[in-house]
């Protein structure tokens, strides 16, 4: 019988301080729908804030730095997204481990895991930063960056690369907090970072016209501020599982477990980013208007992408805690509710954006060619975007159940290999951007066909294991 709300950290509940001080929540009790809603909303708001910032940042760059700077930011952003998305995916894999330990109340092990992971990713982030600074020019060459945006893209890319370590620390820190039931703190900290970023954008792009360089510096400063805030929050958690800067080193088994969960999840995101880079090569062949059009489209798409992606992330933490507590019925119920939420929210929102897109797109640019490319991309993809949202639910549930390998394989096949081969084969036959747009639509459906059997096979395996024990 499920009664009451989600219970707070028992160690703190006994001290009488409760949730207001710890911020961590056990979500394996309480009404599934309400608990999942309260758990997921801050994550979704964080992603909406991310998209709001992206839109405003894009508008500031487009209007005050010009169309070339806008295209440069878009091209450089694709390269940065390869690394950042890997960090996000890796972090979600780590959260599977920490959410299970939290659900099992294995706090001593949880403290070791949190402390060890943060130290590990700090070292990895520094290595990534140094390596990518040396390879930044080659990366722009690999994606055939248009000559007229090459210089500005290089400037933007090098400055933003200095924030890679901050990005990794933020993503791991926020993923850990989410796995502990605290989705509110990352949201509030991210809000502060967005405000800081926008103020610096206005100062360095509008007041002091530094162009694309100013936008990059604003992003870099806000990223490091956010990473520092998250690290302080982890240090101030309950002492039984808070971040310890000394001691608490990972052993080989711990590292192996992190790699087992984190690498496939990171590779899943990496494959999507690499496929975007490869497809960008095809897009670049259609000229700077097509490049800028897809950049603007990506900003509007974020209003759909980020909520769906965030919900999948939240569901992973919810499922992980309930898996650790052995509450398998709650996992199935949460997944069903999540599917209904996607149809109730993402479907009408996608149609609303579709009809309002002629007005929304003009916020970013007045260039007719860019507007035409962006509008056509919306017309082809938004009507079926709810399928992508449903995929995120099943991917999040499967990862929460402990498998990051199957989501990686499905993503590799559907969002990477299929899309690239689709464009490689069809664009020479039909040299139009519509081939690119259709590759997204078909891949959404293909992913759904592949991930559904994986989810139900894992659920049925859990049900059988419970029946056998009884």
| Domain spans in the chain, listed from the N-terminal domain onward | 10-469
All residues at 6 or more sequence positions from 430 whose CB lies less than 8 Å from its CB, including other chains: none
pLDDT digits (tens, 9 = 90+) for 56-70: 777 777 766 667 777
**What whole-number distance in Å separates Cα of residue 46 and Cα of residue 28?**
23
Share of the chain above pLDDT 90, in %: 15
The encoded tokens of residue 184 equal 């509110």
pLDDT tens profile 2-43: 333 344 444 444 443 334 344 566 666 667 777 787 777 887
**The pLDDT of residue 290:** 83
Angle at which helices 328-360 and 32-64 cross, to 10°: 30
Q: In this predicted structure, what is the pLDDT of residue 248?
A: 63
Q: What are the structure tokens assigned to 146, written together?
A: 């248009």
Q: Give 110-148 pLDDT, tens digit per residue.
A: 888 888 888 888 888 888 888 888 887 787 877 677 777
- Kindly report the average pLDDT of the chain as a whole number: 81
Instruction: Give the per-residue pLDDT at 393.
Output: 94
Percent of the chain with pLDDT over 70: 90
With tokens 């605290």, the residue in question is 182
């Amino acid at each position: 019988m499920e009664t009451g709300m989600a219970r707070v950290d028992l160690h703190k509940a006994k001290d009488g301080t409760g949730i207001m001080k710890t911020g961590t929540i056990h979500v394996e009790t309480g009404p599934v729908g309400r608990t999942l809603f309260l758990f997921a909303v801050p994550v979704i708001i964080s992603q909406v804030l991310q998209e709001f910032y992206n839109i405003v940042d894009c508008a500031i760059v487009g209007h005050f730095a010009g169309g070339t700077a806008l295209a440069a930011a878009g091209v450089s952003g694709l390269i940065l997204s390869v690394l950042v998305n890997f960090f996000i995916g890796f972090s979600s894999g780590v959260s599977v481990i920490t959410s299970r330990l939290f659900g099992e109340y294995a706090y001593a092990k949880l403290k070791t895991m949190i402390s060890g992971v943060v130290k590990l990713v700090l070292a990895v982030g520094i290595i990534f930063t140094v390596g990518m600074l040396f390879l930044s020019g080659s990366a722009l060459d690999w994606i055939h960056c248009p000559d007229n945006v090459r210089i500005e893209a290089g400037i933007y890319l090098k400055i933003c690369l200095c924030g890679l370590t901050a990005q990794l620390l933020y993503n791991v820190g926020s993923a850990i907090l989410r796995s502990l039931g605290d989705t509110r703190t990352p949201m509030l900290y991210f809000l502060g970072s967005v405000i800081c970023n926008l103020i610096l954008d206005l100062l360095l792009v509008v007041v002091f016209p530094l162009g694309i360089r100013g936008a990059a510096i604003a992003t870099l400063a806000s990223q490091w501020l956010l990473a520092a805030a998250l690290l302080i929050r982890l240090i101030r958690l309950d002492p039984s599982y808070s971040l310890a800067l000394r001691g608490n080193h990972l052993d080989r088994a711990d590292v192996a477990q992190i790699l087992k969960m984190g690498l496939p999840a990171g590779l899943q995101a990496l494959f999507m980013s690499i496929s975007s880079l490869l497809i960008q090569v095809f897009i670049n062949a259609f000229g700077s208007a097509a490049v800028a059009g897809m950049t603007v489209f990506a900003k509007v798409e974020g209003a759909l992408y980020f909520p769906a992606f965030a919900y999948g992330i939240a569901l992973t933490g919810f499922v992980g805690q309930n898996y650790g507590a052995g509450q398998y019925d709650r996992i199935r119920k949460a997944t069903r509710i999540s599917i209904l939420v996607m149809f109730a929210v993402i479907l009408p929102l996608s149609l609303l954006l579709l009809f309002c897109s002629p007005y929304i797109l003009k916020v970013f640019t007045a260039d007719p060619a860019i507007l035409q490319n962006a509008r056509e991309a919306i017309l082809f993809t938004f009507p079926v975007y709810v399928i992508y949202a449903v995929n995120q639910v099943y991917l999040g549930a499967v990862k929460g159940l402990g498998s990051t390998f199957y989501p990686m394989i499905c993503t590799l096949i559907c969002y990477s290999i299929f899309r690239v081969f689709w464009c490689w084969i069809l664009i020479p036959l039909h040299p139009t951007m519509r081939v690119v747009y259709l590759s997204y639509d078909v891949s959404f459906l293909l992913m759904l066909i592949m991930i559904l059997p994986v989810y139900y096979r894992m659920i049925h395996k859990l049900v059988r294991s419970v029946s056998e024990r009884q």
